[in-house]
Amino acid sequence: MKYLSLRLSLLMALSSIVFVAIFSSCATDLMLTYSTTQAQQHSTFVRSMVADSTHWTNHAWQQTIHSKLSALNMAVVIRNATGRILYKSDGNIPASPVYQEVVVTDGTQQIGTASIYECTPATLVTLYTVYLGLFALLLTLAGVVWFLASTILKPLNAITKATQQVAQHDLDFHFPGSRVREIAEVFGSFTMMGEALRTSLFQQAKVEQERRLLISAVAHDLRTPLFSLRGYLEGLATGLANTPEKANRYIEVCQTKAAALERLIADLFVYTQLEYLEQLPSQEPLEIGGLIAQVLESMKPQAQSKEILFLVEQPSSPCVIPADAHLLTRVFENLLDNALRYTPVGSSIRIRWHCDQHHLFFTIMDAGPGIAPTDLPQLFTPLYRGDSSRNRRTGGAGLGLSIAQRILRAHGGDLTAANMLSGGAVFTGSLRVASAR
């Protein structure tokens, strides 16, 4: 679709008006000048003919003057002093404009008047030219008004209605087609704004729904260990644990519930930082092998309780990346905790990583049952859990994997999950190495 420039179109319209006006004015001036010159020359002759009032009623004189006036394309009406017509050379004279009024006297008083009419074709052509020029000017003005109404007023009215709809939170607006480039650009920009607002409102509604779900789920997860913790503490306070073995058991359960509460609160804090505060991670040089070794050491007691071995495959040379040590520690803790939760007793978990010039790649493979195909697309969704019963004995509030993926993405990497052919789940992560020194 070929677009017109509004500025050029208006300039052409105004130029047309000016051209028509100038042409009409010049043509009229030329015709009037010619007509006036001819009329002045002829009127001198006519005045000399009608000066002698004694011939006014003479029939032969009237025939002679009629022939001469016809040849000059002029006409005369002679009236006496009382206004009675004594002679009229042409019956259509009243339709022509009076060019000159000649007063005839006898030297002392008026004896009559002679009205001279100029009826030459030039005069008629001049009138027609004036009328045609005015018609052309009016037609041009009507065209300009129609153009302005269709290209400016109508689009402005459409934009006004659209803004009123936006003010009423109605984003379903449409604009008529326009071949004017500037108007089409305004329509396009307004439509893009509407799409952006729709997307923003959709995202806002989605975030609000996520927030409500998060608060509901976290409140439920906090209430469960708190209820157990309060029950065991009341048992200790009332003496239900009346033997050292029972007291130690109660204390152990209380410590477990307190640790679960601490982990849940920590998950919630990290998730809030990444999702809502949009806090950027620090970029300090970090040797990834040392960080993984520290995380494995801290999780040894949990692995030993299930007789699970950590099998580590690492490159021969150190791998240094720019990263936030605290956040990356949280990534590996969440992934290893997830692997330990689903790996059967007496099995192993394999951890490997390697670097190239631009990225660090790592994998964590467990020997569990794997991930159901229906769960894979939603695995990193906050609060999503594969077991539909949401049994909290398997741990967590459904934030661990989501937090791990968001941390890696904040570092310019990513985290994905899949199933191995031999069974078990494999999590593959990446981090940028570029700019690390």
pLDDT of residue 390: 35
103 pairs with which residues across the strands? 113
pLDDT of residue 389: 35
The answer on 226 and 298 residing in a single domain is: no
Q: Choose the most confident range, by mean pLDDT, from 173-182, 205-214, 250-259.
A: 250-259
Distance CA 113, CA 111 (A): 7
| Residue carrying structure tokens 């631009």 | 358
* pLDDT range class, residue 416, cuts 50, 70, 90: very high
Q: How many beta carbons lie within 10 A of that of residue 414, not counting itself? A: 12
How large is the average pLDDT for residues 37-46? 61
CA distances 182 to 70, 146, 177, 186, 248, Å, are 62, 18, 12, 6, 80
How large is the average pLDDT for residues 109-134? 68
Q: Which two tokens stand for residue 378?
A: 């939603």
The answer on 244 and 105 residing in a single domain is: no
Taking every pair of Cα atoms in the chain, the longest distance, rounded to a whole number of angstroms, is 162
How large is the average pLDDT for residues 53-68? 76
127 or 401, which is more confident: 401
Beta strand 320-323 with 284-287: parallel, antiparallel or unpaired?
A: antiparallel
* pLDDT range class, residue 23, cuts 50, 70, 90: low
The answer on 122 and 32 residing in a single domain is: yes
The answer on 436 and 321 residing in a single domain is: yes
pLDDT in tens, 139-162: 777 777 777 677 777 777 788 888
Indicate the residue type of 437.
R
pLDDT at 38 over 80: no
Summary mean pLDDT of the chain = 76
pLDDT of residue 384: 64
In a domain, 153, yes or no: no
Pair 349, 309: CB distance under 8 Å: yes
Final residue before a domain boundary, out of 218, 244, 279: 279
Pair 155, 178: CB distance under 8 Å: yes
pLDDT of residue 124: 55
- pTM of the full predicted structure? 0.50
Query: Which CATH number is 387's domain given?
Result: 3.30.565.10
pLDDT at 361 over 60: yes
The answer on 274 and 219 residing in a single domain is: yes
* pLDDT range class, residue 428, cuts 50, 70, 90: very high
Q: Which two tokens stand for residue 31?
A: 């015709």
pLDDT of residue 88: 79
CA distances 40 to 100, 187, 353, Å, are 9, 63, 112
Distant-in-sequence, close-in-space partners of 321: CB < 8 Å, separation ≥ 6: 285, 286, 288, 355, 360, 431, 432, 433, 436
pLDDT at 172 over 80: no
The answer on 328 and 304 residing in a single domain is: yes
300 or 138, which is more confident: 300
pLDDT in tens, 78-94: 888 788 887 777 655 55
> Which domain covers residue 287, as residue numbers?
281-437
How large is the average pLDDT for residues 275-289? 73
284 pairs with which residues across the strands? 323
* pLDDT range class, residue 280, cuts 50, 70, 90: low
How large is the average pLDDT for residues 184-209? 81
The answer on 369 and 292 residing in a single domain is: yes
Q: Indicate the number of domains in the chain.
A: 3
The answer on 437 and 295 residing in a single domain is: yes
pLDDT > 90: percent of the chain: 12
The answer on 11 and 130 residing in a single domain is: yes
Q: For 400, phi and psi rounded to 5 degrees?
A: -60, -50
pLDDT of residue 59: 78
pLDDT at 4 over 80: no
Distance CA 309, CA 349 (A): 6
pLDDT > 70: percent of the chain: 73
pLDDT at 393 over 50: no
Final residue before a domain boundary, out of 141, 160, 185: 141
